[in-house]
Structure 1
Amino acid sequence: MGSLYDCFSAPDGLAALTAFGRGVEAAGLPALAVKGIDPYAQLGQAESLLTGMPYADVTSLPRFNQLVSSPEDDSRRLVALTDELRDALASARPGQLMAVAEPCSRIEEFGDDHAPGPPADFLKEPATLAAEAGARRDPHRPYCLMPL
């Protein structure tokens, strides 16, 4: 649960790769540092619950954790997150986020001692980031930098 992930939005894959090389803040992109919430397991489960789409269907979406950076980088990866996750987070009401947090807190990757509060709190910040990304004239797409 201790890994630090940088979730951010960018207009396209080239801008996301620039952020990968220079750093998200240096690239001037909106970002959110997240501790311990993996983009595959936890965000995938949250996406499934927010959209009503079965988890297997979520993981088969073309952008779901699609590798954007070179596979040769042995210290970190840049992956794409889905537009469906962005849109679901952007349109979610606070009550929906709490309703999703409870079942998310029970998934294996969170462990036995995780209460519903922290995932709900975590989802509030990416919901704001997602709303800002989707509201742009040329909507940004979501990405995540993850350590290996």
Structure 2
Amino acid sequence: MPEEADWRAALREKGYRLTPQRELILGAVDALGHATPDEVLAHVQQTVSTINASTVYRTLEVLEELGLVRHAHLTDRAPTYHSTRGHVHFHLVCRGCGDVISVDEAEAAPFVAALAARGFVADLGHLTVHGRCARCEGATP
């Protein structure tokens, strides 16, 4: 996750402040890795019991607008949020065990190049590929 000063600068540029709630939610997303809004809420409520679900949802929307978090659809339920810190990645989700594997965007370079040749620019941060991991298929990774 970007340093707190970066959080403040990104928020301030859009007319927002780094409130204690926003800081807790950013910290929860960073700590959890990939988390639904309900998982973020549960994590934050371990520290502050007065925060509610609507605050978490609104804050995640603002933080995504500012580029501090992103969401992907890892299931057919709620979106899953993750930090923008580090590498741009896409997700592999195992239908057997439910593991989520983050894959660096460079591994999709041939696919992205093929799409670009068709005049399409891919947004890999939202890409999720469902299948079965080596462990669930009975092979060693």
TM-score w.r.t. the length of structure 1 is 0.27
In our comparison, the structure showing a higher alpha carbon Rg is 2
TM-score w.r.t. the length of structure 2 is 0.28
Bigger RCO of structures 1 and 2 (CA < 8 A, at least 6 apart): 1
